[in-house]
Amino acid sequence: MIVGGGFTGLSAGLELRRVGIDVMIIEGAEPGWGASGRNSGLVIPTLTRPDPDDIVAKYGSSGERFVTLLRDSASHLFQTADGLGLAGQTEQNGWLQPAHTAGRMAIAERRYKQWAKWGAPVDLLDRDQVRNALGSAAWHGAFFNRSGGTVNPLALVRAMATAVTANGARIYVRTPALHYHRSAGNWIVTTPAGAIKARALLLATNAYTGELSPDLAPSIAKEIVPVVSWLTATAPLDEETRRTVIPSRTAMSDTRGDLYFARYDVRHRLITGGSLVSPFNRAERLKSLIAERLVRLWPQLKSVEIEFVWNGLIGITPDRFPRFHQLGPDAYAWAGCNGRAVALSVAVGRELARAIAGVPLTELAIPFSEPSPLHAHGLVRRLAPLALIGYRRRDAKELA
């Protein structure tokens, strides 16, 4: 049984059906309702941090396998999308992380050296190369991973849901899991409509683990801080403008804590977004913030209209590393996407399905740990938007 109809749950469902294991997915709303359908669509095969050397130093051989999984995660996502007939909703033009100050080039250089050592298709770009790729002189160089790119996330999750049911799995929508327990060698999940029994259990709820039921997995819900991520979409840009605004159509997100990011969708809209400290009138205030930012980066966008605003939750951990847990015999969970879950969650879903299928944990590309709830989690969550003030202050400082 899988709880959660997003990228992780559906990816696991596809893999389990491939090897002939019966699959039931229960989803509190609809597939893609959560973060899987409401994200930026950037396909990024790295974490925000840590980088490979630190991962291996902390987790040893399981860390090495995880680095390999992460390295290949974008390519796996695009292969999955192509197999579902979604080639028109994806662009594998790479992912660019430009340095917003000269000092931040140290981040790009470190990341390039470490990922190159692991065989990733990466490059280190100078300022002129970044200007040519993005059409802006706002950045000083960049780390570039050629396997990254963009996807229409809601289209992908819906295609995965269609495929998993076509392969014999069952998805029960508007069926939130309230809590779970183990009884007589099975896992029992309670829902408003009754209890469900299964041999194996996968909690694939990430940032929404405590949102529909605080009793589902409180120790996991309290080890992440759910933060609202705001996204916007401009009106479609004409061909002439697109020649000068990210002409490479490369996915980009820079080195700021208050992240600058952007991509094109299939209709040539510019998808970007941002964060706000105050909770009041956020949608309208965000439109003004993003319009000003776009003009600062690309003055030719001074008349662009922002047509859509939406948001979703991302799960933040203190060290920006995701959390993977074995809940008991044949039961697993993960949470803590830290804004990098599009590629990672599809790869993790497949890997956790291998665990359910009987692959020894010592062979998995997953560094498991025990849940570690944050102290005063409720207070930390309420104060989390204020962290944006600190991010902006650090972003304004040069690094030596």
- Segment among 153-157, 163-167, 196-200, 394-398 with least mean pLDDT: 394-398
Length of the chain: 400
> What is the domain-level CATH number for residue 383?
3.50.50.60
Query: Looking at residues 112-133, what average pLDDT do you find?
Result: 98
Q: What DSSP state is assigned to residue 86?
A: -
Structure tokens at 110: 């470190």
400 domain-assigned: no
pLDDT at 194: 95
386 domain-assigned: yes
Handedness of CA 3, 77, 334, 331 (dihedral sign): positive
Query: Looking at residues 296-320, what average pLDDT do you find?
Result: 94
Average pLDDT along the chain: 95
398 domain-assigned: no
Q: Are strands 186-191 and 179-183 parallel, antiparallel or unpaired?
A: antiparallel
pLDDT at residue 287 greater than cutoff 60: yes
pTM over the 0.85 mark: yes
Handedness of CA 304, 310, 315, 316 (dihedral sign): positive
- Share above pLDDT 90 across residues of the chain, in percent, rounded to a whole number: 92
395 domain-assigned: no
Which tens digits make up the pLDDT trace of 358-391? Answer: 999 999 999 999 999 999 999 999 999 888 899 9
Query: Looking at residues 175-202, what average pLDDT do you find?
Result: 97
Which tens digits make up the pLDDT trace of 51-63? Answer: 999 999 999 999 9
* Confidence label for 26 from pLDDT (cuts 50, 70 and 90): very high
| Domain that residue 369 falls in | 2-390
397 domain-assigned: no
pLDDT at 145: 98
pLDDT at 115: 98
pLDDT at 301: 96
Query: Looking at residues 206-232, what average pLDDT do you find?
Result: 95
* Confidence label for 87 from pLDDT (cuts 50, 70 and 90): confident
Query: Looking at residues 290-304, what average pLDDT do you find?
Result: 95
Structure tokens at 280: 């009041």
* Confidence label for 88 from pLDDT (cuts 50, 70 and 90): confident
Helix (H) or strand (E) holding 234, with range, is: strand 225-234
- Sequence-distant (6+) residues with CB within 8 A of 261 are 40, 42, 252, 253, 254, 272, 273
333 domain-assigned: yes
The letter for the amino acid at 257 is: G
Q: Spell 327-361 as b/e; 16+ CB within 10 A means b.
A: beebbbbbbbbbbbbbbbbbbbbbbbbbbbbeeee
Which tens digits make up the pLDDT trace of 227-252? Answer: 999 999 999 999 999 999 999 999 99
Q: Spell 5-31 as b/e; 16+ CB within 10 A means b.
A: bbbbbbbbbbbbbeeebebebbbbeeb
pLDDT at 104: 96
The number of domains in the chain is 1
The backbone torsions φ and ψ at residue 240, rounded to the nearest 5 degrees and listed phi first, read -65, -45
* Confidence label for 91 from pLDDT (cuts 50, 70 and 90): very high
- Sequence-distant (6+) residues with CB within 8 A of 238 are none
Angle at 203 (CA atoms; ends 197, 206), nearest 5 degrees: 155
65 domain-assigned: yes
159 domain-assigned: yes
